[in-house]
Copies of this chain bind each other. A is one copy, B any other.
Amino acid sequence: MLYSPPVTQEHIIAVDLGGTNIRAALFSTRQPGILKRESVKTEAQRGVEAVLDLICRTIQAVMPDDRASVRAVGIGAPSPVDPFRGIVVRAPNLPGWINVPAGEMLEQRLQMPVRLGNDANLAALAEWKFGAGQGCNDLIYLTISTGIGGGIISGGRLIVGAHGLAGEPGHFTVVADGPPCGCGGKGHLETVASGTAIARRARELLPGLPSASLIRKLSGDDPARVTAKLVSEAAAQGDDQARSLYDEAGTYIGRAVADMLSMLNPEVIILGGGVARAGDLLLEPVRQAAKRFAMAPSYTDPLRIVRAQMVDDAGLFGAFVLASEEA
């Protein structure tokens, strides 16, 4: 990066770059909370330069009067990121964003230090410093959504790996020769345990479900209306079949969690993303499977498996943590 941050300044600007919105927030390093925020539509179809301009405009909207008081800008991107070189590797929801050196491009435009991170990694940082992982130095965050992503804090540091690609638990192989994965692999965790997978399994079952099935009723027998959320509502109202789909997904997640325990021995596993809003419907089978597949009770007895606490602002708080770290 071009600029190394002076230590006397006191503001951080955090940006959450999403496929739909770009959000920016002004933080102080001396008091908790967001001082000012702004959100604009991403207009991703206009291409890389236009989105970079929008990012800068959103940042300007939260800029403090004393520009020199901004120590750094932290940005979360919906993509694998090379944090060492500030490169957005490939953002599926942002057309044209393939190997974009966004860090350097934004530093040139903004004339301030910019640090880039993967959005799920930043959510892990947010949970660590402000959410369900406070006080822990070893945690794994999983986001269960249309796909499955994650972030690892080990020994009080974000694990990024040699090229910034660490923390992708969604691509653990859990079913040899299982369903095809978006990445080209087979039987990866997200093919059997993501929201997409839960909805797909429910749609597969739909034609054979009894007429009393709540999945049938709530969806009006329309496969297009079957979502993981609908399945969780059916389960909450007592539908056994719906519950068993969450059991199945949670068991796969718990088994992958057991593998992660033997590698990283964390004290807490944090489940975020839309599917984890189902709460214990998902978390209880995760806990049981983690126990069943783990090597020894010494891994699972002191372990907590809990829901994420940061919801809408995880990306912003995570970008704030990223940009405030001296490392």
Chain A interface residues (CB < 8 Å from chain B): 80, 89, 136-138, 152, 154-155, 157, 159-173, 176, 181, 183-185, 188, 255, 258-260, 262-267, 293-296, 298-299, 302
Contact = CB atoms under 8 A, between A and B. Distances in A.
A299 B255 CA distance: 23
Contact of A155 (B160, B163, B167, B295): B160
Per CB-CB distance, the 3 closest pairs between chain A and chain B, nearest first, are A161-B265, A171-B295, A162-B267
A185 B137 contact: no
- Tallying the copies of this chain within the complex gives 2
A159 B262 contact: no
Contacts of A265: 160-166
Contacts of A295: 168, 171, 181, 183, 185, 188
Contacts of A262: 165-166, 168-172
Contacts of A170: 262
Interface core residue of A152, A161, A165, A181 (most chain B CB under 10 Å): A161
A154 B161 contact: yes
Interface of A: prevailing SS: loop
Nearest to A301: B163
B263 A166 contact: yes
Given A138-B162, A293-B185, A298 B80 contact: yes
Given A166-B263, A168-B295, A181-B295, 7 more contacts: A154-B161, A159-B159, A163-B265, A163-B298, A163-B302, A185-B295, A260-B263
Contacts of A299: 165
A138 B152 CA distance: 14
A175 to B, nearest CB: 8
B162 A258 contact: no
B188 A298 contact: no
A164 B264 CA distance: 9
A172 B294 CA distance: 8
Given A293-B185, A295-B183, A169 B263 contact: yes
A265 to B, nearest CB: 3
A216 B166 CA distance: 45
Given A157-B155, A183-B295, A173 B258 contact: yes
A170 B296 CA distance: 13
Contacts of A163: 265, 267, 298, 302
